[in-house]
Structure 1
Amino acid sequence: MIGVAIPIPDPYGALLQGKRASYGDPLAGAIPTHITLLPPTEVDGVELDAIEAHLLDIARKERPFHIRLRGSGTFRPVSPVVFVALGEGIDDCERLQALIASGPLARPLDFPFHPHVTIAHHLPDKVMDQAFMELATYSARFEVWGFSLYEHGEDGVWRPQRDYVFGVGGAGPRTEDDCPTES
């Protein structure tokens, strides 16, 4: 199981992951803070070379852009999710998502693409309301350097496997020492 996402850099990523954990979301420790570009997708291991070549080609042609996170939103009642909304960078995320969800990663989506950062999922309504209210005035701005390929481990944790840096392509396997930071 793989996914592709824009990781949210620290200090914003850590702060939002901490907020998610404070609401009692059991997935807070298993899912790094991100903006999904390709939702969880089951692939055959033999497809990984073609998928990685596809992602590398996209990254080489793209350029950094800015995202502004601003305020909260919800998909309720359709889906029990509260999220931090994007106030800037939506068009860039939509373009990038369409490119990624083509070729070897083409698949139908369960919901229309809407870039966001999940902060509460499948929690009691009272907790969802609290998350929505507490992050209503949240704001952060950062430069998007690229995106990451994630793999869902047998332990249920999503881990970044490889970074794809805009204008360059792949940066190879990801390690804690070489994670890109905010510019």
Structure 2
Amino acid sequence: MLYGVVVFPEKHVQDFANSWRRRLDPHYSAIPAHLTLREAEEWSDDELQTAVNHLEQITSAMPAFSIQLNRVSTFYPVNHVLYLALQDTVPMQQLHDKVCSGPMTIAEPKYVFTPHVTIGQELSAEELHDVYGNLRMQAIDLSSRIDRVHLLYQTDNGSWTAYQSFLLRG
């Protein structure tokens, strides 16, 4: 089964992101607005249990924190993705580093970790530039408390649902 690890921002951030995702993100109906900590991967039952144990351990020592999203950015030309960017990526980077350590280390990551909330993907270059040109002019000032990590799995219909949530208790 396919599993991934994410955090969900607070509802007001999800609502803002979803106002764009409805039109620009083909995965809008499959998963709520989120920040990916570990890309999806096929796991056996043993690997799943190892991941659960690891997430229990790291979240017990990590405190909750706040993030600030302050602009729209893009991964163009590598990927035709628009996203909400963080003002300070350090707390999310630290959480990612802890999640992706020990038994959950990623040997060869596909991308450099860039914490973000996707608002559009699989766009044509023209549409990406048009929407990005408009959005980068908007003043964005969204904050969100991050107090839990979610282990998700993909269902047969392609949507994602929580397998287990882990409170940041440090």
TM-score relative to the length of structure 2? 0.90
Distance 1:30 1:11 in 2: 19
Are 2:151 and 1:149 equivalent residues in the alignment?
Answer: yes
Gaps of 5+ in 1: 169-183
TM-score relative to the length of structure 1? 0.84
> What is the CA distance between 1:134 and its match in structure 2?
4.3
Q: Deviations over 1:142-182 (max 9, x none)?
A: 111121111111111111222111117xxxxxxxxxxxxxx
Q: Deviations over 1:49-85 (max 9, x none)?
A: 1110100111000001110011111111011111110
How many matched pairs? 166
Q: Which residue is 2:6 aligned to?
A: 5
Larger RCO (alpha carbons 8 Å, 6+ apart): 2
Distance 1:154 1:46 in 2: 21
Gaps of 5+ in 2: none
- Give the alignment of 1:72-83 within 5 angstroms: 72-83=72-83
Q: Which residue is 1:47 aligned to?
A: 47
> What is the CA distance between 1:126 and its match in structure 2?
3.1
- Give the alignment of 1:89-168 within 5 angstroms: 90-107=89-106, 108-136=108-136, 137-167=139-169
> What is the CA distance between 1:103 and its match in structure 2?
2.0
Q: Please identify runs of 4+ aligned residues in structure 1 that moved more than 6 A.
A: none
Distance 2:167 2:32 in 1: 18
